[in-house]
Amino acid sequence: MRVRQVVTALTSGQISNDVYHADDVQRVQDEIAAGTAKLDPAWRRDTAEGRAAIRAFKRRRERRRVITAVVVAGLGLAALVLFAVLLSKS
């Protein structure tokens, strides 16, 4: 399977996505339709490996959200302190 990673710059950072070659996607689609595809168990929701992969993804996503919230709160607090210092000097 040919794949390349595309990085997109956002205001909150960067995200990367895998982009698959169209011919490979068509081949896999044909194999799935024919019932001959061999899928990695971690890609399926009806296997223990797949459910574990989903849980791991959700843990990483939640950790990222918590870290983002802490950073934003810290920056907000720093801005308030800076503002208070600037007001006290005027």
Please report the DSSP string for the chain in residue order.
Answer: --EEEEEEEETTEEEEEEEE-HHHHHHHHHHHHHT-----GGG-TTSHHHHHHHHHHHHHHHHHHHHHHHHHHHHHHHHHHHHHHHHHH-
Tell whether 86 and 46 lie within a shared domain: yes
**Residue numbers of the domain that contains 15:** 1-38
pTM of the entire predicted model: 0.53
Tell whether 29 and 55 lie within a shared domain: no
Tell whether 13 and 55 lie within a shared domain: no
Tell whether 30 and 57 lie within a shared domain: no
Tell whether 34 and 52 lie within a shared domain: no
| Total of domains in the chain | 2
Tell whether 31 and 15 lie within a shared domain: yes
Position 2 scores a pLDDT of: 83
| pLDDT tens, the chain, 90 aa long | 788 888 888 888 888 888 989 998 999 899 989 989 888 888 888 899 999 999 999 999 999 999 999 999 999 999 999 999 999 987
Tell whether 20 and 50 lie within a shared domain: no
Position 51 scores a pLDDT of: 93
